[in-house]
Structure 1
């Protein structure tokens, strides 16, 4: 029975992948709503700092989303852990803004690349930790 079961998980893959894309789009929308600066507008205008910060947030969220997909026991479980990941990324932005760089919003608006890199790197680090902690 060579090949038997090779595509048996295709339906689950499709469901999780589609839901992951929906969650990723939702994250981008929510994240850009909670930040005081309009990252997407800044990115389209060529602001590298905003691109670095937003890219890090998306990568960080995707890492956590991958952890949720790998460890969830159902689609509902996956959605719940995806929302936890969204909250963690939002908190990461708040921590950077309150503790590390209180003027980060202005610095990103001014295209200070260092500020965007710190925000992006913090977001990726939080995503990695989040994904690891989801391996309950």
Structure 2
């Protein structure tokens, strides 16, 4: 039962942190990804998916390596900032993504995931 409660605590915390990240990320971008996804904009879905994966990978590493809820929260802030930095650096692709062009979205997705992987392996 103790293991299940620990799982539940980390899982719920990670989901809440992911949700908070998504709220912030969507506010940073010049468009609302959720609205664009409702309109079947695959480019918005691809770029947002990359940011989610790029955020979740370091969260998984933080949970696995630190076994500390407060440490996971600290890494969530760092990871969220890294994902926002990726978008900020590649912001010039935003108009194309908003218009539904998938090539820039795939590139943004790849950079978000790559940043997340690098972020995850740097956690110790």
**Length-normalised TM-score, structure 1:** 0.86
Which residue of the partner structure matches residue 63 of structure 2? 69
Give the CA RMSD over aligned residues: 1.1
Which runs of 5 or more structure 1 residues have no equivalent in the other structure? 1-6
Q: Is 2:36 the counterpart of 1:47?
A: no
* Unaligned runs of at least 5 residues, structure 2: none
**Partner-residue secondary structure (3-state), 2:90:** helix
Q: Which residue of 2 aligns with 1:131?
A: 120
1:36 maps to: 30
Deviation at 1:73, TM superposition (A): 4.1
How many residues are matched?
124
Please give the per-residue CA displacement for 1:75-115, whole angstroms capped at 9, x wherever unaligned.
Answer: 11111111111111111111222xxxx2x111011111101
Alignment partner of 1:9: what SS? helix
Q: Which runs of 4+ in 1 moved over 2 A?
A: none
Structure of greater Rg = 1
SS of residue matched to 1:36: coil
